Amino acid sequence: MDPGAESYRRYLLGDKSGLEEIIGLYYDGLILYLNLYVRNLTEAEELAEETLFVLVSKKPAFSGKSSFKTWLYAIGRHTAIRYLHHRSREVSVADMESESGRVQVWDAERTILIKERDRNLYRCLSRLKDDYRQVIWLRYYEQMSNKMIAAVMKKSVYSVEHLLKRAKEALRTELEKEGFPYEES
């Protein structure tokens, strides 16, 4: 049985250690995933906490149609989209233009979160379109199947397959611009 699903089931039955297990299993990965949306580690941490708060406050039913991780990441994705939509109303057009032109530098955070050899890959990945960055992250960093990715991104498996192909081509281009050879996996 899916360890996350079992932990959540126990939590719903009153066992608080179930929630602690969920946090231990998924919290760090959820932060990194949400960071793809907001490009700010502090905001990603807050969104991960908000995602877990949904589990605590609303106690949504887990149907088991996907893995617990896929379901949790889909809740996180929805939380991030709502946050970005709300934030976009508050940010002026000038602020958005200056923010979109700025190169994200996460030196301290990256040093902690990503191995030294992955720095260049991560920088190239951050320059990709959001969907490309997301599909690559879910496939190779979170090791999700195309079916799981489709559930998280709310796309068909066929769309995910093509999106992944285009994302890898875009990543190859970015890596080559940096002077690094691209190794197909």
Looking at the structure of the chain, the number of domains it has is: 2
CB 112 within 8 A of CB 45: no
Answer yes or no: do 98 and 77 share one domain.
yes
The reported pLDDT for the residue numbered 15 is 95
Answer yes or no: do 64 and 128 share one domain.
no
Answer yes or no: do 90 and 139 share one domain.
no
| Cα–Cα distance for residue pair 46/87, rounded to 1 Å | 14
Answer yes or no: do 118 and 51 share one domain.
no
Q: What average pLDDT is seen over the chain?
A: 83
Answer yes or no: do 57 and 147 share one domain.
no
Q: Where are the alpha helices (DSSP H) in the chain?
A: 3-12, 16-38, 41-57, 68-90, 93-101, 107-113, 119-126, 130-136, 146-153, 157-177
| Cα–Cα distance for residue pair 67/142, rounded to 1 Å | 13
Answer yes or no: do 94 and 174 share one domain.
no
Segments forming the whole domain that contains residue 176: 104-185
Answer yes or no: do 27 and 87 share one domain.
yes
Answer yes or no: do 84 and 110 share one domain.
no
Please identify, among 59, 79, 102, the residue that sits at the C-terminal boundary of a domain. 102
20-68 residue pLDDT tens: 999 999 999 999 999 988 889 999 999 999 999 999 999 999 999 999 9
CB 85 within 8 A of CB 61: no
Amino acid letter, residue 40? N
144-170 residue pLDDT tens: 999 999 999 999 999 999 999 999 999
96-108 residue pLDDT tens: 444 444 434 344 3
| Cα–Cα distance for residue pair 105/95, rounded to 1 Å | 18
